[in-house]
Amino acid sequence: MEQAASLTRDSDSDGPDARASGWQFAAPEYYTLALIVSVAIATYIFVTGASQSERLLTPPLVAAIMVANLVPAMTLIVLIGSRFARARAAWSMGGGNGRLHVRLVQLFSLIAAAPTLLVVIFASLLFQYGVDFWFSDRSRGMFENAASLAEGYYQENQREVGANTVAMAEDLGAFLERVPTDDPKFSNYYFQQVVVRSLNESAIIEIGADGVARTAAMIDPDNRAAENRLSPA
């Protein structure tokens, strides 16, 4: 009876200490959770304030914000893992506080968290620098120069084709005064004109007495119909 009473007194006396030790052990998790919430609120206030002022965040600042939000979260994960490891060691058959098991859990948690943190930092920097480049004045000027260069090339090509077409029409008109369109000499001469003028297709349109346009001769490698090649006047 005396031993039972002593065990009862011992267990009762250990209750508050056990609860206090449990609270002391859980305190870092609570503090870390409060830090996570505080950093998240501060980040939201800072980002919304920057968006209202139309001020872009620099890539290092974005990376710092992400690190400030990730480090407490990873710390909380490590602390929770250590808590479960210590609880499992306390309830194991061998007893004891399981320091080696807890240290291994902490070590592997840090090993797993460090690469994740580095990847997030590099990814955020690369993304932000990429966005800054595509929306910067330098990239805008580069696209505008490319567009103006393409437009200039198109206009120059249009003028060159127009000049070659006028010159070929004059040569063909002078040649048709001597040779009809159904003569083989005209076919050869017409083909030479198209090749020399660097044209990929050509057609000679005649307006009959009835006012209908008809194709007198044509060089068309794509074999397209006339209504798909000519626009109405």
pLDDT digits (tens, 9 = 90+) for 217-226: 777 755 655 4
DSSP one-letter code for 217 = E
pLDDT at 41: 92
At 21, is the secondary structure helix, strand, or coil?
A: helix
Q: For residue 214, which phi and psi values (nearest 5 degrees)?
A: -130, 150
Helices 2-52 and 59-90: crossing angle in degrees, nearest 10, is 170
pLDDT digits (tens, 9 = 90+) for 141-166: 888 888 999 999 999 988 998 898 88
DSSP string, 50-70: HHHTT-PPPHHHHHHHHHHHH
Cβ atoms < 10 Å from Cβ of 151: 10
176 neighbors 210 (Cβ within 8 angstroms): no
Q: What are the CA-CA distances from residue 143 to residues 130, 132, 147, 161 (Å)?
A: 16, 15, 6, 27
CA-CA distance, 119 to 140, in Å (whole number)? 30
pLDDT at 37: 92
Structural domain spans, the chain: 2-135, 147-229
- Tokens 């040779």, residue? 179
Closest C-alpha among 160, 194, 193 to residue 175: 193
213 neighbors 207 (Cβ within 8 angstroms): yes
DSSP string, 198-215: T-S-EEEEEE-TTS-EEE
pLDDT at 144: 86
pLDDT digits (tens, 9 = 90+) for 160-219: 988 988 888 888 888 888 888 788 888 888 888 888 887 888 888 878 778 787 777 777
Beta strands per DSSP E along the chain: 202-207, 213-219
pLDDT digits (tens, 9 = 90+) for 61-104: 877 888 888 888 888 888 887 777 777 766 765 555 556 666 77
pLDDT at 3: 40
